[in-house]
Amino acid sequence: MHTDKTVDSCFILPILPHKLGNVRDFWDDASEKYGSDIDSHFKLNGVHRVIAFLQDIPEKGDFLLMFMQSRNSLERTLHDLFASGLECSRYLTGQFMDFSGIDMSRKENFPRLELLDDWKETREYIEERGMLTMPWCFALPLKEGKANDALKFANEAKKSMASDIEGMLRHHDVVRRLAYLQRTPQGDFVVVHLLASGPLDELILAMTSCSDKMCGLARNKIMELTGIDLSDQKNVPKVELLFKWDESHGFETADQIIAYTE
């Protein structure tokens, strides 16, 4: 999504079997031992904000989910972060290769994203209510062959159901929704970034179990495209905050965050 000043993206990367501990150790080291270097590296290359989560996706494995807000396109930003030849760039590339098996310095390995939806609350009453917002990322695996159906539905929904979808999001105190289709060797995924007023599991259960017509339509469409019934608590995506970074505050790891807000 492009604005006058930023590009917002969310994407996933696979984590190799038995490498989950390496991912956690890497970001602890990145924030504690190399924090100032990576902080400068992010800022130099136009990154404004990064939020990372871990998600265990049944039958798919463990994944790293990242939301990134940057000055340039995601492709340009990833190239500058991983392929600049600087020591910090080589360090990041080596660490990502270790836990994902992906050489992030190569353009052909960059996430392939197709925008499904980008909505942001603009009404001032949200701020007037003093609502605290929490950022989340999660991914849903699509059934084989359903990627184009997801794109088609997203495009049709923007034309015919935009106001109804907006009302549904407002009703559930969502102030931002960004969704991409990402095609990967592990399958096709819908990757979502949300800003909402509470925990992700409570939000998803509330939206998929309510009696509103749009909530029912969304629940049924998700079931059609993914085979997942999100109204069943055992199917709700389970994500773990790994870290947050922004250009004003630097790194905050999950251990440093008790109740994180935007």
**Cα end-to-end distance, the chain, whole Å:** 19
One-letter identity of residue 183: R
pLDDT in tens, 106-126: 999 999 999 999 999 887 655
Q: Rounded distance, CA 157 to CA 172, Å?
A: 19
40 HSE (CA, 13 A, CB side): 7
Residues 6 or more apart in contact with residue 52 via CB below 8 angstroms: 27, 64, 65, 66, 67, 137, 241, 242, 243, 244
pLDDT in tens, 69-119: 999 999 999 999 999 888 889 999 999 999 999 999 999 999 999 999 999
Q: Dihedral through CA 87, CA 75, CA 247, CA 7, nearest 10? A: 170
For residue 2, pLDDT over 50 is answered with no
Tokens 């009453």: give the residue: 125
Write down the domain spans for the chain.
7-112+239-256, 118-235
For residue 188, pLDDT over 60 is answered with yes
Q: Rounded distance, CA 197 to CA 133, Å?
A: 5
Which carries the bigger pLDDT value, residue 138 or residue 88? 138
For residue 250, pLDDT over 90 is answered with no
> Please, which residues bridge with residue 175 across strands?
none
**What is the β-pairing status of strands 239-246 and 250-253?**
antiparallel
Query: What ranges make up the beta strands (E) of 165-224?
Result: 174-184, 187-196
> In terms of DSSP H, where are the helices of the chain?
20-32, 35-44, 74-82, 87-100, 125-128, 147-160, 162-171, 200-209, 213-226
CA 114 to each of CA 151, 168, 188, 237: distance values in angstroms, whole numbers, following the listed order: 8, 23, 11, 21
**What's the whole-number mean pLDDT along residues 185-201?**
94
- The reported pLDDT for the residue numbered 260 is 45
Residue 210 token pair = 């309510």
Q: Rounded distance, CA 175 to CA 113, Å?
A: 22
For residue 230, pLDDT over 50 is answered with yes
For residue 256, pLDDT over 60 is answered with no
Instruction: Just give the CATH number of 118-235.
Output: 3.30.70
- The reported pLDDT for the residue numbered 258 is 46
Q: Rounded distance, CA 129 to CA 121, Å?
A: 13
- The reported pLDDT for the residue numbered 62 is 97
> Please, which residues bridge with residue 74 across strands?
none
- The reported pLDDT for the residue numbered 33 is 72
Residues 6 or more apart in contact with residue 228 via CB below 8 angstroms: 140, 141, 222, 235
pLDDT in tens, 14-32: 999 999 999 988 888 877 7
Q: Is 240 helix (H, G, I), strand (E, B) or coil?
A: strand
Tell how many helices (H) and how many strands (E) occur in the chain: 9, 9
Largest CA distance in the chain: 54
Residues 6 or more apart in contact with residue 201 via CB below 8 angstroms: 233, 236, 237, 238
The mean pLDDT value of the chain amounts to 89
pLDDT in tens, 157-170: 988 988 888 889 98
CATH of 7-112+239-256, one of 3.30.200, 3.30.70, 3.30.9, 3.30.300: 3.30.70
Same fold, 7-112+239-256 and 118-235: yes
